[in-house]
Each structure stands twice: as C-alpha cells, then as structure tokens.
Structure 1
Amino acid sequence: MTHPGTLVLIMTVAVLAPLLVYATQRRLSVPLVIFEIALGILIGPDVLGWAHPDKVTDTLAHLGLAMLIFLAGYEIEFADVRGDTLRRALWAWLLALVVGIGLALLISGGELFKAFVIGTALTSTALGTVLPMLRDRGELRGRFGTVMSAFGAVGEFGPVVAVALLLSGRRPAESAALLAAFGVLTAGAVFWALRPRSRWFVRLTERTLHSSGQFAVRFVMLLLACMLGLAEVFGLDVLLGAFAAGVLTRLVLHRAAPASSAEVLGKVEAMGFGFLVPLFYVVTGIEFDLDALLHNPGTLLLVPLFLLLFLLVRGGPVYLFAPRDLSRRDRVALPLFASTCLPLVVAITTIGLDQKLLGSDQAAALVGAAMLSVLLLPLLAMRLRSPADGGDRTGRSSAAAKESEAW
C-alpha cells in the first residue's frame, strides 16, 4: 500500500533536522544525522505512526545509500594516505575484522553469516562524519588529519570490500574471483580517468555549469550508474560500485576540470545531502524497530555492549598500530574518532535485514550503539586533545568554530 503523505513527512523532517541542530548548537553539539534518524523514529510506526515506508521511499532510500557511499569514496585523497601510515591502517583494520568476527560468533551463537554482518559492522569508520570536524578545526592537512584520513579511509573501504566478499551468498573463493575481476576493470577505469581529457570536455563543463545542460553533473551521475551496474553484473554489493564511482569521480574531475571540480561536486552534494542522503537516514529511523529495542531488556543491554565493542574491536587495533610520532593525546583521540561509525553500520545492517541474516532486534541495537558513537566519541576525542594539539587554527572566532563543529 502506498502512503502519499509519507514523502511529505520525510522531507519535512529533513528540513526540521538542521533547524534543530542550529537551535541546540550552543548547549549541545548533536550531529545532524542523529536528528534525522531520531525524527524518523518519532514519525514512524512505533511512535506516532504517521509515516509508513512504501516502494517509492524505499527506492529513494536505496539511492540515498548509494549516494552516501559515493560521496565517502570521493572524500578520500589517496595521495595523503600512502606509505607506512597506510600499512598501519590496513593491519589495524584486518586485526579488527578477525577480532570482530570472532566476538560476533560468540554473540550470534555460532551463526556464521550473522557473525559476518555484526563483525564487519564493528570495523567501520564514519570518515564523512569525522573529516568535517578536523577540517573546521584547521588540521585536516596536518599530521593528525593525515593519519586520521588513512585510518578512516581503510575503515570505509575495508567494510565495503568485506561485504562484497562475505555477504554475497557465494563461496569466498568465487566472491574473491569476481571481486578481483571487478578490481581489474576498476583499475582500467582509473587508468582512463588519469588520462588527460580533451579540451572540449573542459569547455563543455564550464559552458553548461550554470545552464540547464549541467554536462559535468550528468557525467558524474552516468559514472555512478555505470559502476553500480558493473557491481550488479558481477553479483557484488552496489556499495562497492558506489564507492568506486566516488574515487573515479575525484580523479576525473581533478584531472579534467580542476578549476570547476569544486563547483561540480557542490552540485552533486546538493543533490545528495539536500535530498537523497537525509531521506535515507529518515527512512532508516522510520524502519527502526524501536519496539524490539525497548520491550526486550536483553536487546536494550546490547546497545552499551555494542558501543563498547566498537571501541574495543575498532579502536583497540587503531591504538596499537597508531604511528609512534603522535602525541599521547592524539594516540588516545585517534581510536575514538576511528570508532565513530554510524553510516556504514546502517548500510551493513540494512543488507543483513534484507538478506534475513540479522534479526531486527540486533540490527536496532547495532544502529542505536552507532548513533551513540557519533554523539559521544568525536566530542570526547576533541575534548581530550588540548588546544595546543588540535585547537582551531583557521583564524576564525571561537564562536564560528563552534558553529562549524555543530554542523
């Protein structure tokens, strides 16, 4: 059954959420995504019962998830995450995956595929949540920002690959072969992206940037659609295609039209963060099984347990493999930032629910713990770091810095 008022309610919530961030920023720094999910829960079936998901909103929400992962892939600057720091980040994530799946086997009672879902979710990092905070503090290009970019990039890319390998429903060897074939084609696309573009590409990008043609934006959407389709052909999760599309888009735009790349990305972000991504988060709230969380004491107790596991499974290896040149405060703050994990947890639990590998109660507990991680861990990490280690170096007033951090 279709509920025509649901989309109106979802977009009303999408408008209301940033207003609430602005209204509460002086007293409490609450990330925007928390309000989006919380308001979705409020209007959903378990509270007010105003909004009910339908085929239209579900389709748009899946597009929002793809756009979210696409933008995450775009954010990663691989030139900044090479060398010893990248090796440390890789080892930290692999150790987290082994430990996470091992602990998840205990939680799931030995159910292997459920353990894959939970264990992979425990290893993710919300790079798109953390990097803007460091950017607003003027230290994204500093040593700590570079290290966080490396560990966060692996914390986003690693779970996407793990989902493609472990949750495809195939034998691991078959999945690995298909993933390798996808990787070869993606590498070919990267080689193509690095080639100099013809002058007509630049001219057409600039000529249509403020017209109805919007050539560059349409080209980016074509690239996203092609990579999603390629992942679908290989039987891999579309998250992998979306992530690869984000990486390719950065290479193409910065190589072909460096003067216009920021403006083109701004238009794509406007589509994503202005419509599709908030819709995904609000629908996540609407579909959140609050009843299972509140009426089952065991499920409710899983929330602090999962939050602790995020810190131990993801944060512990990050602390062990953190570069030795970081200060003591930074070595403690790095695992807290790396354990902030909501977007991919929502994505992975959505896959687990769709494939009936995960119960709605455990999915709700994982998402609830991830919401707490976004609310608490970055704030704690920033408080741990002294002004000398990570103050606001942008030259702006402290009030402006606080306003940026709230957003």
Structure 2
Amino acid sequence: MAHMGHSVTLILIMAAAVLAPLLAYGVARFLPVPLVIFEILLGVLIGPDVLGWANTGEVIDTLSQLGLAMLIFLAGYEIRFDQVKGDTLNRAVAAWLASLALGLAVGTLLAHGGGFGKGVYVGTALTSTALGAILPMLRDAGDLGSRFGTVTMAVGSVGEFGPVIAMALLLSGRAPGRSAALLAAFAVLTAAAVFWALRPRPPWFAKVVAKTLHSSAQFAVRLVALMLVAMLGLAQALGLDILLGAFAAGLLTRLVLDGASPESGEEVLAKVEAMGFGFLVPLFYVVTGVQFDLKALLDGGRPLLLLPVFLLLFLLVRGLPIRLLAPRDLGGRDRSALVLFGSTALPLVVAITTLGVQDGQVEPGEAAALVGAGMVSVLVFPLLALRLRGRAGAARGSAAAERAGASESW
C-alpha cells in the first residue's frame, strides 16, 4: 500500500509539473510570472494543507534531493566568471560580503532562541540572488550584453556562489577551523579536477562525444552524471554540504564541455537541461510546495508576520550594500534597478530553508515565511526593475534628442 501511495503521489507531482508551464504560458500574456511560482503553488494545492492528495515519503524525498542537487548543479553551470571581472567583480564580492555580515547579524537576532545555527540558514538565504530567474528577463529586454547587464551578471553570480560557500564554511561540523580545513581540502581536490578539465582533450574524446551523442551510449551525458555524483560524494565524504558539491560539479562541467567542440557541448548541455528542468528540478519545486507549511503561515502567528519582514530584509540586507557599492558609472535609476534585481531570491532560499528544516534548525513556519517572501520578490522586484530601466532608457533618449535639437538649432 505504501508503494501504491508513492506511485499516486509521484503521478500527481509530475501532473503538476506538466500543468505548471501551461499556466505560466497562459498568464505570461498578461503578466510574466516565473514558472517556479506555479510549480510551488500547485504543490501547495495538492499538498496536505489544501486538497490533501499528496504526501511525501522516502522515495519522493530522495527524488526531491536529486532535484535539489540538479538545481544547484545547473546554477553553477550558468555562472560565467570570465565575463565579469576586474572592478565590477570586486564590487560585487564586496557588496555580498557586507550582505553576509548583515544577514548573519539579522538572522541571529531573528533566530528566536535558535542561536547562530539558525542564524546562518536565515542569514545566508537573505544574501542570495536568483540569477536563473533574472537572466531570461535581461535577455528578453536586450540588456544582457549592456554595461548594466554585465554588472547585474556579476551581482547575480556572486549572489549564487557566495551563499553556497558560506553554508559549507559556517555549518560543516559547526567548528569554523575544521570547516575551513575541510573546505580547503575540497578546494584543492576541485582545483586538481579543474586542472584536468583544462587540459586539451585527446582527439578520441571529441570523436566519442560526437559519435554517441545521438545513440543509446550517450557518453558525454553519462560523464556529466559521473562528475555530479563524484562531487556530491566528495563533499559528503568531507562532511560538507551537498550544495557545494553540486555547485562545483556545475562549474567543472562547463570547463569540460567548453573543452570539447562547441557544437557538441551545446547539445550535451541541452540534454542535461532536459533531464534537469524536465524532471528533477520541477519535482523538487512541487515537493517543496507539498511540504510548504501553509497552515502555519495562515494561522496569523509569527510566520505570517515574518513574511513582509523577510521581504523588506531582502532589500535591506542584499540591496543596500549593492546600492552603496554599485559602479559609479551607473545612473540613479539603474542603481535602483540593480538593487531590485539583486534582491530577487527564490531557488537558493528554497534550497537553504529545505536543508535548515531537515537539520532541525529552521521551523517549517519560518521556512514558509522565507519561501513566501522569495516568491513575492520574484513576482514583484524584476517587474519594478524593468520598469525603472524603461524609464531610464526613455530619459536617456529624451536627453539625447534635446542635445541633438540644440545642436541643430545652433
């Protein structure tokens, strides 16, 4: 009977995963709502607090953990530090470090007796940025290759990379010295893997990749899966968080695929993304919705009060340092838009709060408030940022027209 329950739950979860893009596509004609919002909301709908159709168990939880690992893996893959460097990257790192200090202080104050451990989960969640959510919007707006897009890419990249490192450093073993040593060991082993990845590929490698790309062998996809589980296993063996292993695997995979032929690399990535975004990642988000403590949030107690507080803290903890340390060549409206984009957070918030609940450090109601605030940030902040960018562009165009008119009359 338990197996039957798992089967029905899995069918419901995958049905929700199929329905989510249909809803997102339909609503997108009126309002660009990120797909992840529908995945979580549908999970809440079929979960125990609403319809009561789905309940998670060991099998579903294992698949959800794989989805979390794939989500962080793909986040690591999409980061291109080679495109953001110099003063822009330095300012983004400085802003994130300031956010981390603020986040840890605020998280510990809000821990409600939970101590520094809970403060780390809450604080690091407040410093994250949903790079995967804002990149498509920048691309659609034609801003990805602009100066503003470069700065936003830097802020978003550090906002995804930094929290993962902070989690590994501050929570592994609960002893900072031991955590630093373990993190250093992981860094050395990862550097060795990177050195291997940067070496020129032998001729047979590209041939095998190309030859098996459209066959049942799928050598490159299997190699990617091996790198993911190997980095996850390495992180677990060293007592580090799985987020770090998945993230490092994503960075490493980009190096390996970039070393192969560009055409094959793009096709391999498309297959990996299909496996991730087609099955594992939406399963993780729907399960997050199923486990979402809606009852605690709607009971009118502390969790409900915390939701607007967390939303404001995203702007203060993450946004204020970004505003203060933004490159000086950005105008006022662009700085404000950068704050809104940088304060947009959801995927890592979901991942971090999920681990916090599993570790017993974060209460389900608090996790629901944080995830709820992240959902509101993804819905509201990017739209406001794009509107500011549109007004800034109109203002620049008007000023240019006035200058042109003045020169003609002169």
Q: Common fold, TM-score beyond 0.5? A: yes
Q: Which amino acid aligns with 1:228?
A: L
SS at match of 2:172: coil
Q: Deviations over 1:196-246 (max 9, x none)?
A: 001111011111111111111111111111111111111100110110111
Q: How far apart, CA to CA, are the structure 1 residues paired with 2:190 and 2:87?
A: 25
Whichever of the two has the greater Rg, that structure is 2
Aligned pair 1:80/2:83, yes or no?
yes
What is residue 160 of structure 2 aligned with on the other side? 156
Is contact 2:173–2:239 with CA below 8 Å preserved after alignment?
no
Q: How far did 1:387 drift?
A: 6.7
Within 5 Å, give how 1:335-350 maps onto structure 2: 335-350=339-354
Q: Which amino acid aligns with 2:91?
A: R
Q: Deviations over 1:245-288 (max 9, x none)?
A: 11111111111222211111000000000000000000000000
SS at match of 1:197: coil
Q: How far apart, CA to CA, are the structure 1 residues paired with 2:324 and 2:168?
A: 27
SS at match of 1:259: helix
What is residue 356 of structure 2 aligned with on the other side? 352
Q: How far apart, CA to CA, are the structure 2 residues paired with 1:202 and 1:46?
A: 51
What is residue 377 of structure 1 aligned with on the other side? 381
Q: Deviations over 1:94-146 (max 9, x none)?
A: 10011111112221245111111111110000111111211222221221111
Q: How far apart, CA to CA, are the structure 1 residues paired with 2:108 and 2:58?
A: 34
What is residue 6 of structure 1 aligned with on the other side? 9
What is residue 26 of structure 2 aligned with on the other side? 23
What is residue 52 of structure 2 aligned with on the other side? 49
Is contact 2:334–2:392 with CA below 8 Å preserved after alignment?
no
Q: How far apart, CA to CA, are the structure 2 residues paired with 1:136 and 1:359?
A: 38
What is residue 331 of structure 1 aligned with on the other side? 335
Mean CA deviation greater in 269-278 or 328-337: 328-337
* RMSD (Å) for aligned C-alpha atoms: 1.4
What is residue 402 of structure 2 aligned with on the other side? none
Q: How far apart, CA to CA, are the structure 2 residues paired with 1:357 and 1:376?
A: 29
Q: Which amino acid aligns with 1:362?
A: E
Is contact 2:17–2:39 with CA below 8 Å preserved after alignment?
yes
Q: How far did 1:56 drift?
A: 1.3
What is residue 108 of structure 1 aligned with on the other side? 111
What is residue 235 of structure 2 aligned with on the other side? 231
Give the ranges of 4+ consecutive aligned residues of structure 1 lying more than 3 Å apart after TM superposition. 387-390
Is contact 2:172–2:241 with CA below 8 Å preserved after alignment?
yes
Is contact 1:205–1:257 with CA below 8 Å preserved after alignment?
no
Q: How far did 1:76 drift?
A: 0.8
Aligned with 1:295 (options 278, 295, 299): 299
What is residue 176 of structure 1 aligned with on the other side? 180
Normalised TM-score (structure 2): 0.93
Is contact 2:333–2:392 with CA below 8 Å preserved after alignment?
no
Q: Deviations over 1:364-390 (max 9, x none)?
A: 100110110111111111111127749
Is contact 1:100–1:123 with CA below 8 Å preserved after alignment?
yes
Q: Which amino acid aligns with 2:319?
A: G
Q: Which amino acid aligns with 2:58?
A: K
Q: How far apart, CA to CA, are the structure 1 residues paired with 2:264 and 2:143?
A: 25
Aligned with 2:287 (options 283, 289, 310): 283
Q: How far apart, CA to CA, are the structure 2 residues paired with 1:274 and 1:318?
A: 34
Q: Which amino acid aligns with 1:57?
A: I
What is residue 393 of structure 1 aligned with on the other side? none
Q: Which amino acid aligns with 2:78?
A: E
Which one scores higher on RCO, CA 8 angstroms, separation ≥ 6?
1
Is contact 2:171–2:179 with CA below 8 Å preserved after alignment?
no
Aligned with 1:273 (options 268, 271, 277): 277
Mean CA deviation greater in 255-264 or 282-291: 255-264
Aligned with 1:39 (options 31, 37, 42): 42
Aligned with 2:139 (options 132, 135, 153): 135
Q: How far did 1:296 drift?
A: 3.2
Aligned with 2:219 (options 204, 215, 221): 215
Q: Which amino acid aligns with 2:356?
A: G
Q: How far apart, CA to CA, are the structure 2 residues paired with 1:128 and 1:22?
A: 18
Q: How far did 1:23 drift?
A: 1.2
Mean CA deviation greater in 22-31 or 49-58: 22-31
Aligned pair 1:124/2:128, yes or no?
yes
Q: Deviations over 1:131-189 (max 9, x none)?
A: 12112222212211111111111101110011111122330110011001101111111
Q: Which runs of 5+ in 1 are unaligned?
A: 391-407
